[in-house]
Amino acid sequence: DAKTTQPPSMDCAEGRAANLPCNHSTISGNEYVYWYRQIHSQGPQYIIHGLKNNETNEMASLIITEDRKSSTLILPHATLRDTAVYYCIVRVAYKRNTPLVFGKGTRLSVIA
Amino acid sequence: GAVVSQHPSWVICKSGTSVKIECRSLDFQATTMFWYRQFPKQSLMLMATSNEGSKATYEQGVEKDKFLINHASLTLSTLTVTSAHPEDSSFYICSARDPNIMNTEAFFGQGTRLTVV
């Protein structure tokens, strides 16, 4: 699976959009971009994933650049409960019996 | 949706005793489950892959005789920390994915905070 690079930490004001970047310059054509987050003392939670098109769900939006070498997770209206570590993971979708490999992620602090 | 449940959420044990942590898939049958360990302010580190009906596969540096994994049914995997020591204190997390759904996300248990005193 391709390696990802994320900033170690970010702050965001409550109610504003949180934009979390991820670089994955070595991504291959059959690898998806997945985002998970981990709130303190809980297991990771799936947020969203995509291949090349932008994706949106009730939690977030995922914007993937045309060359697929980077992506941005957008939390449109961040709340204090969105404070967590956010992990960007690249992997081939059909590898269902292989584990997710976590990097260091981005620690997002939402500030009142 | 699919859910993975872990029990207990936290446990305190004396040094030298053993502790069992259970991981259950509630909505699907998981032929494979994964066990992670997380130390404070660090990321999740994969410990082992639990395979139903066969031996677990351990990551390099993880002692298989110390961290016993049993995956006796399609919905339950257990991790037993044997002869626990204070350095085994950590946050243990299991994960599974529904094998019948293509391109689905992985689900994680809520984690077990182990404190060895």
A103 and chain B: CB distance < 8 Å anywhere? yes
CA B110 vs CA A75, B3, B6, B83, B103: distances in Å:
23, 10, 6, 24, 22
pLDDT of residue A79: 97
B105 in A contact zone (CB under 8 Å): yes
Residue A9's Cβ-side half-sphere holds a number of Cα atoms within 13 Å equal to 4
**Spatial CA neighbour of A17 closest among A91, A96, A89, A72:** A72
Pairing label, strands B112-116, B10-13? parallel
Selection from A45, A37, A50 nearest residue A93 by Cα? A50
With beta carbons less than 8 A apart as the criterion, state whether B76 and B7 touch: no
Nearest Cα to Cα of residue B108 among A68, A106, A43: A43
- Residue B81: CB atoms within 10 A of its CB come to 24
Q: Which of A41, A44, A99 sits opposite B49 (nearest CB)?
A: A99
| Least Cα separation, residue A84 to chain B (angstroms) | 12
- pLDDT tier for residue B1 given thresholds of 50, 70 and 90: low
Candidates A43, A49, A105; nearest CB to B105: A49
The answer to whether the CB atoms of A105 and B43 lie below 8 A apart is: yes
For residue B84, what is the DSSP state?
-
Per-residue pLDDT tens digits of chain A, which is 112 residues long: 669 999 999 999 999 999 999 999 999 988 999 999 999 999 999 999 999 999 999 999 999 999 999 999 999 999 999 999 999 999 887 666 788 999 999 999 999 9
Instruction: Tell me the helix, strand and coil percentages in chain B, rounded to 5.
Output: 5, 50, 50
Tally Cβ neighbours within 10 Å of residue B109: 28
pLDDT of residue B53: 86
- Residue A39 sits at the chain B interface (C-beta within 8 Å): no
Check CB contact under 8 Å for B31 and A97: yes
In Å, what is the CA distance from A68 to each residue of A2, A5, A31, A47?
A: 12, 14, 10, 19
How far apart CA A92 and CA A89 sit, in angstroms, is: 10
For residue range B77-96, list pLDDT tens digits in order.
Answer: 999 999 999 999 999 999 99
User: Cβ–Cβ of B102/A101 closer than 8 Å?
Assistant: no
